Chains A and B, each alone.
Chain A
Amino acid sequence: MSWITVLWSMLASTSLTFALLHLFLWAKGIKPWANFSFAVAAVAAAVITGMELMAMRTTSIEQMAFILRWSHLPILVLWVAIVCFVRCYFDAGRAWLAWTVVVLRVLALTLSLTTGQNLFFDEITGLKQITVWGDETVSLPLGLLNPWYFVGPLSALVLAAFVVDAAFTMWRGGTDTGRRRAVIFSASITIFLLTAVGHTALVNAGIIDSPYIGGLSFMPILLAMSYELSCDMLHSAQLSQRLQAREAELRISKQRMRLAASAAELRLWEWDIVHDHIWSTDKTLTLYGISEPQKISFGSLLSIIYDEDREQVRLAVEKSMMGNGNFESEYRLKMPDGQIHWFHSRGRIEFSDDNQPLRMLGVSIDITRRKHAELEVQQQRNELTHLSRVTLLGELSGSLAHELNQPLTAILSNAQAVQRFLSRDVVDLAEVRDILNDIVAENRRAGDIIHRLRLLLKRCEIEHLPVDLNKVVRDVLKLLHSDLVNNNIAVSVDLDQQLTAVIGDRVQLQQVLLNLIMNACEAMSYTVAGQRRLFVRTQLTCNNSAQVSVVDQGPGIPTENLENIFEPFFTTKLHGMGLGLPICRTIITAHGGQLWATNKNDRGAVFHLTLPLYSGENA
């Protein structure tokens, strides 16, 4: 067999192999359009190679003319495939150049079918047998060239221009890889395209005697195209390898993070606000029956939050969405076993460019233990406060007994009077009714006193409700009425009627005032009877808080003790425990206020306390 047949067959089959390979890739969906264009180009190249071989082996003029006529069909396909490849793969090249290539090539095919014997020859006059490279003999056509011949090379030039232009586009906008591709690809196409077209023209014109080398020339183009596609494959293989390594790293770092988080009892979470699902490292979430992480929505999370805290958490989230994106909240979660756990969460919202919340990242920490300790301390403080209140009332017991005995006396006397009236022959029912009304009124009065006392003696949960300080002052003065009377203390009050409510625990605030006023009374025990004056004033301060001042006419407080008196167990009294004022200060501080003492210029001490006003939103 001749080596030309062998070589050309090999070229054709190589092209077909390429075509098959890339068809396979196309079928796999990897860069489908580029691979498909390439496969088509390879098939076309194989057909062209085959046709060349047939032309070189033919001995009849008709057959030669026929082959040359129809060779423009695979060339058209090849050109179109190259154009498509460039457009799909490089995403470059001017559309009008592409269309020009296609139109010229279609024109070339049309002209090949309609003018002369084909686009190359007007008429083939004979076949020339030439011997090449040893003893191989091939046929070459001889004859008049078709005047439309130029359309073929013109289309090749336009195609080359299209490719070079695309290469320039890639060079300008590209990375190093892009530039390398642009150079290799455009250079190989331009050089080998022009070589093939030029060589064919020279052979056809009879200037050189050589077999057609179109198929041979297209091989480097195919190789260049294939190289590009393979580079991509290689690159993606490398990428996937790197990705795997990264994933392994990520897995390890995630494990580390989990370990660190669980060691620190931190729970990390992320809430995709757009799709509303929450991811969390929190294993306890699975305990609520929300086992699959993608099933946790904000709503389902809210549903396991303790009833009393739910609204507060919802508001905190809303506020962070409206505001600067920072979220912080303390809340309780109900465990399925009935236990309640406290959590502290902090998070931050990421917003999109148009300020829509996208997701929130955050951490939660189980603060149950700390909270229990806090509650215990709070409870102990409450006990102490309560105890001091009871002690305070113990000191007052005499006065309180008097206060209570007044209505009881009235009731007893009225009742005994009625007994006497009823034993008379004529009973004045109207009078009896009047007396009974009095009895009822006095009973109510006694009940009120007991109620007030019971409130003070009760060990109750601390409330945070709006409290009218003026009323607290009046109530305490009522309670202390007989004590003040007994000690010959004249009371004057100046209550600011503009004063709005403060937030706090009424009983505790009463306790503080009770303590301060009783201290004031005691301070005046050595003051001459006529000068024992107690002055209580409420007022609005300039920094928007309520102030109560208790002023006495006693000896005052030595300057060095003005602060010491608030220290526990510091006392100047004979039987004092030294806990009254410290507890008062604890109470006021817990209310967000201040308690301090000053001396008046002339004589006596003043105790001031300030409390923040109720603004209407923190209840």
Chain B
Amino acid sequence: MNEPAPIVFMVDDDPSVLKALALLLRAMELKVMTFGTPYQFLEQYEPGTHGCLVLDFSMPDLNGLELQKELAARGIELPVIFLTGRGDIPVSVQAMKQGAVDFLTKPVNGQDLAAAIHAAFEKDLMSQQARAEWGEIHQKLATLTPREREVMEHVVAGKLNKQIAADLGTVEKTIKVHRAHLMTKLKARSLADLVRLAERAGIMSKAPGRNDYQT
């Protein structure tokens, strides 16, 4: 796999800090792109680019937390490392809750920053793999007929063939055929396999029989 090198996206409203940090990271053989404002970054970032975001927490117009939310809203899953000059605990807790990889206080040691960046790259890579897997699963799911998909959702919900047939208004034998097809199409060797797959695809929550459990 010949992936392009991950990029450190760095946003800070203080040009000299931006310049110095970029210099240090480049000296550490990292690829760095710098931005003076969060908007600049949002404009120029190409979704899907591998890397991480190093973000100064205090910036005019749009602060770190807000940018983090904006990224989530745009579906950008770039890991975020916060830098702050003030080290407020409530803010850092909030940031971590929103999924920040790390929260470093300025002045930051190069080693620590590098470590955080590498951890973020790792996370990005992992989430990229997870994304790839997710894509794969969805590709497989797309091959299912609507009926097979319906049956699958019922199976994953833990219903017996008899129950499913009753729910869908057909006979048990037909359900069995659908079930064998979808297992083949999804390359699931067992029910456990199927459930894990559905889980990854996020189907579990959409199960139509959910109301039955609750009532």
In the complex, per-residue mask of B17-31: 1 if CB is within 8 Å of any chain A CB, else 0: 101110110111000
Query: Can you sample 21 A-B contacts with CB below 8 Å?
Result: A398-B88, A402-B58, A403-B85, A405-B105, A406-B14, A406-B17, A409-B85, A410-B19, A410-B20, A414-B23, A416-B24, A416-B109, A417-B26, A438-B16, A438-B19, A445-B16, A482-B58, A482-B86, A485-B59, A486-B63, A488-B60
The A-contacting residues of B in range 10-65, CB under 8 angstroms, are: 13-14, 16-17, 19-21, 23-24, 26-28, 58-61, 63
CB-CB under 8 A from B83, the residues of chain A are: 409
**Contact residues of A with B, CB < 8 Å?**
398-399, 401-414, 416-417, 420-421, 435, 438, 441-442, 445, 482, 485-486, 488
What is the distance, in angstroms, from A428's C-beta to the closest C-beta of chain B?
Answer: 11
Q: Which of B60, B86, B110 contacts A413 (CB 8 A)?
A: B110
Q: Which residue of A lies closest to B16 (CB)?
A: A410
Given contacts A414-B24, A421-B27, A438-B16, contact A405 B106 (CB under 8 A): yes
What is the distance, in angstroms, from A402's C-beta to the closest C-beta of chain B?
Answer: 3
A417 engages B23 (CB within 8 Å)? yes
Q: Is the C-beta of B107 less than 8 angstroms from some C-beta in chain A? A: yes
CB contacts between A and B, total, < 8 Å: 93
A402 engages B16 (CB within 8 Å)? no
**Contact residues of B with A, CB < 8 Å?**
13-14, 16-17, 19-21, 23-24, 26-28, 58-61, 63, 83-88, 105-110
Bound: A445/B24 CA distance, A? 20
Bound: A441/B85 CA distance, A? 19
A485 engages B58 (CB within 8 Å)? yes
Bound: A435/B26 CA distance, A? 14
What is the distance, in angstroms, from A395's C-beta to the closest C-beta of chain B?
Answer: 13
Q: Which residue of A lies closest to B59 (CB)?
A: A485
Bound: A138/B106 CA distance, A? 148
CB-CB under 8 A from B24, the residues of chain A are: 413-414, 416-417, 420
Q: Which residue of A lies closest to B26 (CB)?
A: A417
Q: Which of B26, B60, B63, B85 contacts A405 (CB 8 A)?
A: B85
What is the distance, in angstroms, from B106's C-beta to the closest C-beta of chain A?
Answer: 4
Given contacts A409-B106, A410-B17, A410-B19, contact A417 B27 (CB under 8 A): yes
A417 engages B20 (CB within 8 Å)? yes
What is the distance, in angstroms, from B111's C-beta to the closest C-beta of chain A?
Answer: 8
A411 engages B86 (CB within 8 Å)? no
What is the distance, in angstroms, from A475's C-beta to the closest C-beta of chain B?
Answer: 19
Q: Which of A399, A403, A412, A482 contacts B107 (CB 8 A)?
A: A412
In this complex, the member of A399, A442, A485 whose beta carbon has the largest number of chain B beta carbons within 10 angstroms is A485
B19 engages A401 (CB within 8 Å)? no
CB-CB under 8 A from A404, the residues of chain B are: 85
Bound: A438/B23 CA distance, A? 12
Bound: A421/B61 CA distance, A? 36
Bound: A409/B20 CA distance, A? 8
Bound: A417/B109 CA distance, A? 11
Q: Which of B13, B28, B59, B85 contacts A401 (CB 8 A)?
A: B85
In this complex, the member of A403, A410, A442 whose beta carbon has the largest number of chain B beta carbons within 10 angstroms is A410
Q: Which residue of B lies closest to A414 (CB)?
A: B20
In this complex, the member of B19, B60, B83, B108 whose beta carbon has the largest number of chain A beta carbons within 10 angstroms is B60
Closest 4 CB pairs of A and B: A402-B85, A405-B85, A413-B20, A410-B20
Q: Which residue of A lies closest to B109 (CB)?
A: A412
Known contacts A407-B17, A416-B109, A445-B16; can you find 16 more A-B pairs with CB under 8 A? A401-B86, A402-B86, A405-B105, A406-B106, A409-B17, A409-B85, A409-B106, A410-B17, A410-B21, A413-B21, A420-B24, A441-B16, A482-B85, A485-B58, A485-B60, A486-B63
Bound: A405/B88 CA distance, A? 14
